[in-house]
Structure 1
């Protein structure tokens, strides 16, 4: 053993990223004999560029206290060609939450575990098969979990492309007049994707998404601006944000005890943009794999099946071209049936 090995700090598990995936993974490892480090590049855990939408599956996974949920919805307002229709159920199935509050709540759950250390303002500059360089210092690991988002350094170290990443853009507007969760379909502006209005307690997220291989980022930006003007949405006091959504799943377990969770693993939905639920589940399940090398995750299998279903729907919508509006109209007709509406909700929420 050389001097460098003696001096190098070591952990059983290093989790890169303190988002929903990384924090859930750490929680799963809490109270064990493993020494765990969660490294977050930002100064504060929680804040992330995100519309803040949650589904019922996310609520069940987190067992969130009511105080964290901002809005509850049993109905999504859907707009197409200036006409309104609904996706609705008897009970609530979608919600909004502030990402900083969510992250801080998850972080607090880790305080009772002495084997978990969370470091903020820690930038990873290098990754090798034995150690990472964190703020200029080598730190060794036995297991490495990449939970560092769509632009994951761990994913890049594994030389995995992100060719199917969508791009989303939004304005965070300090406005409380919006009370409904709204989705707008406009094939000419957003191709197979959509624009949204997600209300929060002290602000509203107004945004859209698309794929740069189908509609360029510049064109999407211009179309979004036109849509905002058409709907008389005042963005003069809004904060503009843009972010990738990585739905390019390849694998989640790699040689050398390396794992990818959440957006880093490409688990997000390219159809709906949802990623919080996938992050929560994949983070937890990877924690279980670290504890038991023979553990096989049926829940991650289901995430992959769900993503495949969403990709097929998206492929159909993109391929429909000029007939896409007709497909939306047909969907509008079928959503009138309660059984169909419930089936769609089970698929997305």
Structure 2
């Protein structure tokens, strides 16, 4: 029996995989989008979006849960706002986002979307899904931080963050809040991201600086300090892969989103990076001579975030002072705009 073959196989139907598939729609390429889960969309994630993501997606307003033109920041006993004339922070339910992106593929007859499709083996000519060999000309790894495609390429992953959160069914929280506590989270922070029917309350860190066990203990200390009851919440943990190497390998294998290490270990943002990398890789597959300026910008932003984070880590006990200084600098429009552009 002949092996089934596709021009492009995309592993993972998250924002990166769906974005890549959409770019390949209406082409003469036969495309398979393979998702290991039974439902496309749900993912362990805080569900925060930036203005760049909204602009890229052109999302209908009704899909956005909350919009913000300011973020409430806390540092020790002080608090301040980063505020702009227009909205730059948003929250959305990941299932809603995934299902909306999936709906965009309905018009494309050249794209097959398969769920419950679990990859067990990858070779240079085919992959094995549910025990069946399927051939490919191009392979796109969009399968998250624990990417099988990344492992097949034997890429190390060292610059990786860890995030933990509680999903609590409550509507009492309204502000988009960030809490800096250098003693508990080093150069990272805790957050409160309100959603329509729940809130994500979590924190992040670098396992090289704070072990996952210690981070969880520190988070419990922070929750107790702020009188936050998580007894009705669902505990979740997830990696943030910011260890970018390359996005194209061997001429026909690509890594997008968290698989490629595009996520920011400074802010934790990964959706925008996934959308852009997926879309641009699709363009490269369609035109081998295409040079992506958007990917260049994404890579440069990644490097910038790493530099900022490195400086914050090295600042040690001076970190709270640096944040206090920022409190006064954001009063100036030029500096405030620069900060917003860097993080959102």
* TM-score, length-scaled by structure 2: 0.99
Post-superposition shift, 1:271?
0.3
Q: Tell me the equivalent position of 2:35.
A: 40
Post-superposition shift, 1:338?
2.0
Mapped pair 1:241 → 2:236: yes
Q: Which runs of 5+ in 1 are unaligned?
A: 1-5
SS at match of 2:65: strand
Q: Which of residues 263, 274, 277 in structure 2 aligns to 1:279?
A: 274
Q: Which of residues 176, 192, 203 in structure 2 aligns to 1:197?
A: 192
Post-superposition shift, 1:275?
0.4
Mapped pair 1:87 → 2:82: yes
Q: Tell me the equivalent position of 1:322.
A: 317
Counting only pairs closer than 5 Å after superposition, residues 300-311 of structure 1 correspond to structure 2 as 300-311=295-306
User: 2-side partners of 1:200 and 1:39: how far apart?
Assistant: 29
Q: Tell me the equivalent position of 2:103.
A: 108
Counting only pairs closer than 5 Å after superposition, residues 177-256 of structure 1 correspond to structure 2 as 177-256=172-251
Q: Which of residues 38, 50, 68 in structure 2 aligns to 1:55?
A: 50
User: 2-side partners of 1:81 and 1:8: how far apart?
Assistant: 61
Post-superposition shift, 1:121?
0.8
SS at match of 1:244: strand
1:52-100 deviation per Cα after TM superposition (whole angstroms, max 9, x unaligned)? 0000000010000011100000000000012110111001011000000
Mapped pair 1:76 → 2:56: no
SS at match of 1:344: helix
Deviates more, 1:6-15 or 1:237-246: 6-15
User: 1-side partners of 2:21 and 2:204: how far apart?
Assistant: 31
Mapped pair 1:7 → 2:7: no
User: 2-side partners of 1:29 and 1:295: how far apart?
Assistant: 14
User: 2-side partners of 1:101 and 1:119: how far apart?
Assistant: 18
Q: Is the 8 A contact 1:129 1:256 kept in 2?
A: no
SS at match of 1:285: helix
Q: Tell me the equivalent position of 2:146.
A: 151
User: 2-side partners of 1:206 and 1:33: how far apart?
Assistant: 45
Q: Tell me the equivalent position of 1:3.
A: none
Considering only aligned residues, what root-mean-square deviation do their CA atoms show, in Å?
Answer: 0.7
Post-superposition shift, 1:214?
0.6
Deviates more, 1:250-259 or 1:334-343: 334-343
SS at match of 1:113: coil
